[in-house]
Chain A
Amino acid sequence: MNTTLLIWLIPVPPLISFLLIVLFANRTKALSHSIALTSVIMSWIMSWIVVFSAFAKGYYYGENPFHSYIHWLPTGTTYLDMGVAVDNLNSILLFFVPLCIVAIFLYSIGYSNFGKPVHDHDLPGTPPHHGVDPLYSRFFAFLSLFAGAMLTLTVADNLLLLFVGWEVMGLCSYLLIGFWYGREYDDPKATPPRIAAIKAFLTTRVADVMMLLGIAYLYSQAGTLNFHDIFFNEELMYDLTHNPSMIAGFTVANLIGLLLFIGTVGKSAQFPLHVWLPDAMEGPTPVSAMIHAAAMVSAGIYMIIRMFPIISAGGSHGPNPTMEIITFIGAFTALFGATIAIAQYDVKRVLAYSTISQLGFMVAALGMGAYVAATFHLMTHAFFKALLFMGSGSIIHGVEHGMHDVHEHIDPQDMRNMGGLKSRMPITYWTFLIGGLALSGFPFVTAGFWSKDEILGDAWAHHHYIVFTVLCIAAFLTAYYTMRQISLTFYGEPRTKSAEHAHENNWTMTLPLVVLSFFAIFAGFIGVHGEFPVLGQLFGNNPFEHWLVGALPKDMQPKPFTFTWFPVIMSIAVALGGLLVGYLVYGRNPLKSADQVDPVKKLLGPLWTMLENKYYVDEFYYAAFVKPAHWIGETLTFKIIDRGIIDGIIHFVASFFWKAGVGSAAVEQVAVDAPPDRMADGVRWTGDAMKYIQTGRIQNYLMYTVIAIALIGVLFGFLVAG
């Protein structure tokens, strides 16, 4: 079959699966997951056919991608085209995204307790405890839509189609994070899923509207949204990168880049819009894996990598306000997320903050112009983070089984309630260990090491010493909290009965873990720096970089940085150092009981409390935005302005005139057939004036309107006269 046609078909099966499940298969659970799984496997196969035929064609450049489009909307003289394309960059995504998705789908089957009957105690909208999830089919429908949207975004050849996929994913995240909408917590500080869902959707929407403005701005400047047509049009790129925008110091490209980057800040949970992502943990774990690894946050990073020529304004290492902002936010987020992660007890939340931190690495890398390193880390991170999330889901699932066996009521996600799972869940342990080491950047054998090293090396080579230092600290903390997590979960003795009775899950959950472990190790070898002694040559002189830079126009392709030992040593040191410290604190002396105070808490004191509370960012947002918004929406606009002020003004002016003695007689003789009791009425009425807060009266409405007309008239009169 024709390759370009195949690209069109990649996102189609999951979308069809969504429709099929919603419309026809929602009564049959087995049919639902069969349809969903088949559809994503089809997408996966098609993607890999496309990807490998792209690899096979050799180093063709972004100038000449697999491309297919239709005229979609006429816009006056030209057309807005809709199409799909695969070039060097998104072929990488097509390599790992469908694979992760298939793994997640397979995992979901076991995770939702498929095979057990529906239990009476399991209500729709709550996590299943005894039997299969009552909304099993709906779950697969949403998941399919999610996958379809992500694949649409991946193959899009233009920013608009990308945005469509982007927003549909936002919607799916809303639906899926709130999937267990019935869940409530006793703790008032905990965020129930239905709130988390709205929070996620709205926070990302804040960013999305800015991104949409960026898209509109780009479209109005360039006349097209097709990536290829913009980046390879030298004249246009010259204009974009040299014309000043309306904000001083920013060229048009800078401003567009900044607006688009805000989209990424939301989608990829960068500071200060990161708040939604930890709460997104309220969704079922496969959803977390989907959001954090395979799809959503990757989409944010992918978008700015895709728009790199605009963001970097043509060159990669020049002074550029947008790039500086990106670097700063990325580096800050990397450190910020990592520090919070060290003080969390929830097994998934640690990973959530870890994701925020790792995304910060990618963003910072991109901000420094490390195009290749950012993409490389995106890919390796997807593998090991999906692995870790599913591993954590497997742990939670195991502990929950234990809970039901011994009828205990504990929080199955709290690491303090675990311990000693190593022997009880061996497959989960070993795969989780591989993922954790990859995340920590364990030297030489894990993918995470190579990609993180690439970022650090690039930062060092291009003299971003501050960023380098910050990222090193973040990397150290990463290794530390990873080891903390592994120790608390797997080592020592079980601290609760549930943990004691936990046992390994069935094959649909463990198989994906094993597959992803493979990639978490070996995916790193394709991107080893070419000048790295021995290994560089051994692994083909960094084929990843050679492949990837092809996506860019020739004069923008970044050169490989010169290899130096210092960053490598640093990255080995922080990884091993972090792991070692983590082991010394938590692994060597495991917690004895679930109530024991965390040893570091004593050391850090109030700082720990602050970290545990995530620097109070949520609280700050609540006080600074949510409350005022409510106040504006309800009190100010509705109660005061709509009901109060307008009427109030009328009545206030009334009493004023009255008291000022414009007086009954004069006014009434001129204008009104005056009743004698006017005066008495007037006084009573003046006293009540401020009480008359009323609407629903048509004449008041008319009065407002006529006053508005008069004001407009007076305003124009003054403008013209003056």
Chain B
Amino acid sequence: MDFTTFEAAHFLAILPEIVLIAVAALVMFMDVVQKGESRRMMGYVTAIGLMAAMFIGIGFSLPMGDPKLLFGGTIRHDMLGFVFRMMFLVAGAITALITMDVKGLGKRGDFYAVLIAAVIGMNFMAIASDLIMLYLAIETTSISAYALTGFLLNSDRSAESGLKYFLFGAVTSTVMLFGFSLLYGFTGHTNLYGIAEALGAGNVPFVTLIGIAVMILVGIGFKISAFPFHFWTPDVYEGAPTPITAFVSTASKTAGFIVLIRVFIIALSTNSGVAGWLPLMMAIAAVTTTIGNLVALAQTNIKRLLAYSSIAHAGYTLMAFVAFESQPEQSVSAATFYLMTYIATNLLAFAIIIVFARAAGSDEIKDYAGMSRRSPYLAHMMLVAFLSLAGIPPLAGFLGKFFIFKVVVDAGLYWLAIVGAINALVALYYYLIVMKVVYVDPAPEGASKISITRPYQIAMVALTISVIVLGTAATPWYNWAIAGASSLF
């Protein structure tokens, strides 16, 4: 037993997560103590706690110098993981803010505590470099998310979507776990770098490696909701409490991508396997985008529409990812940057949906008629969010798409670029249809003004600004993406 190897550096590396545990404990404590209206304060505490964790992270946990494997190789303290962790913390903080006035959730300390647990899980997904750690982190995120999805006690839909999410997720993650176990068995390592080394020796035949890759892809495909692992997405997104839909569609998906990047680029691309699964991944990228956009056209519920649109966005991110063979760093940085823009934009869209649903009690697109007259500011922000999702400059979504197209073309995947371009067009159509309803169609008789409470104001203004800033003054953020990407290799 060797306790002398405890080092300050180890703890500094995971300081944000330690802070998060403290915040969760504080929230649980408040849940017991607070009474009445002031229970809502737990949302602020969670949001501030998550932001504090972020600033503490920037202050103390910023990876300096070469990336290091810490805690016996279970985590890798590098810039890529760090960037993703910061994204999760922000997404979590925003989620806490936009939960505060949701009926049946906003005043429940247990909700915030489980939300924080999910963020902890994601943070470890971002830095895990060992199959054990990775699996555990994925499950921490997933199980917390299943619980959060079913949290609304008085909603049949919430419970149903929770169970669907649970069943789909449990099966896919078990398939992935089987893949992990084989990977461990055939290489003798659980560490991703150890696996890469062992696979490099070439003892595992091509077919087996592909089989393992497919099994692992099942689990990750579920998290990022890529075709054909996306079937749960619309149902769960529709039924879940909207803040959780926002959280799952942004942070959880992003966490899936960091795992995808780490496992497939680090562990599974060192020998002949790379040629094997890459075409599959390309096909998945193309089909995912197309299916997502096409089916979105036919939706009448805004949450389902955004669900399919989020499937399409996963496809775009995969497009960046599949270019990694010839453009490793640019591919990863393009994907990272796209995810940043996507998180900001999608959270904004969902925040708007929550505010609107509070006033109108509906998520049907037709009920959005005349929203611009009920609240011009809400409508303007929705315009910003949807145009960014559609990739219109100078908003964040455009720049994200631009880098993806660039890296795809650079890698010589012209057909994929064309698929992406055509899809961008289809997407614009259904976003515009929604905006038409918002701006053009007359409001129902007697529709009242929509009031926006303080936490939502904070969240939405911050997100609107970031959508614009990410599209114009993108330098620092893109720098982070690049630094992250280069720290991976």
Contacts and interface: CB of A to CB of B under 8 A. Distances in A.
Interface string A681-722: 000000000000000101111101100110011001100100
Interface in A461-505: none
B341 to A, nearest CB: 13
A212 B402 contact: yes
Given A220-B409, A637-B295, A712-B280, A701 B232 contact: yes
A219 interface: yes
Interface in B382-399: 387, 392-394, 398
Contact of A73 (B229, B294, B440, B475): B475
B440 A716 contact: no
Interface string B189-213: 0000000000000000011001100
Contact of A634 (B214, B298, B402, B405): B298
Given A637-B291, A702-B167, A164 B394 contact: yes
A716 B276 contact: yes
A613 B474 CA distance: 48
Interface stretch (B54-62, B64-72, B413-421): B413-421
B52 interface: no
Contact of A219 (B232, B406, B424): B406
B235 interface: yes
A637 B294 contact: yes
Interface string B324-364: 00000110000000000000000000000000000000000
Give chain B's interface residue range (CB within 8 Å of chain A).
Answer: 35 or more
A716 B406 contact: no
B474 A205 contact: no
A642 B406 contact: no
Contacts of A220: 406, 409-410
Contact of B235 (A76, A213, A696): A696
A75 to B, nearest CB: 8
Contacts of A163: 393
A654 to B, nearest CB: 19
Contacts of B393: 163-164, 167-168
Nearest to B404: A216
Contact of A76 (B329, B421, B440): B329
Contacts of B436: 194, 198
Interface string A181-193: 1100000000000
A205 B211 CA distance: 41
A168 B472 CA distance: 13
B432 interface: yes
A194 B418 CA distance: 29
A509 interface: no
A122 to B, nearest CB: 15
Given A73-B474, A74-B478, A164-B394, A709 B163 contact: no
A171 B392 contact: yes
B168 A702 contact: yes
Contacts of B402: 160, 212, 215-216
Nearest to A635: B298
Nearest to A164: B393
Contact of A709 (B214, B425, B474): B214
23 contacts: A75-B482, A194-B440, A201-B428, A202-B428, A205-B425, A209-B425, A212-B402, A212-B424, A213-B421, A216-B417, A220-B409, A633-B294, A633-B426, A634-B297, A637-B295, A698-B163, A698-B164, A702-B167, A702-B168, A709-B215, A709-B218, A716-B276, A717-B207
Given A72-B474, A637-B295, A716-B276, 8 more contacts: A75-B330, A76-B329, A178-B440, A181-B439, A220-B410, A701-B164, A701-B168, A701-B231
Among all A-B residue pairs, the 8 with the closest Cβ atoms: A701-B231, A633-B297, A708-B228, A638-B298, A209-B421, A164-B393, A216-B405, A181-B440
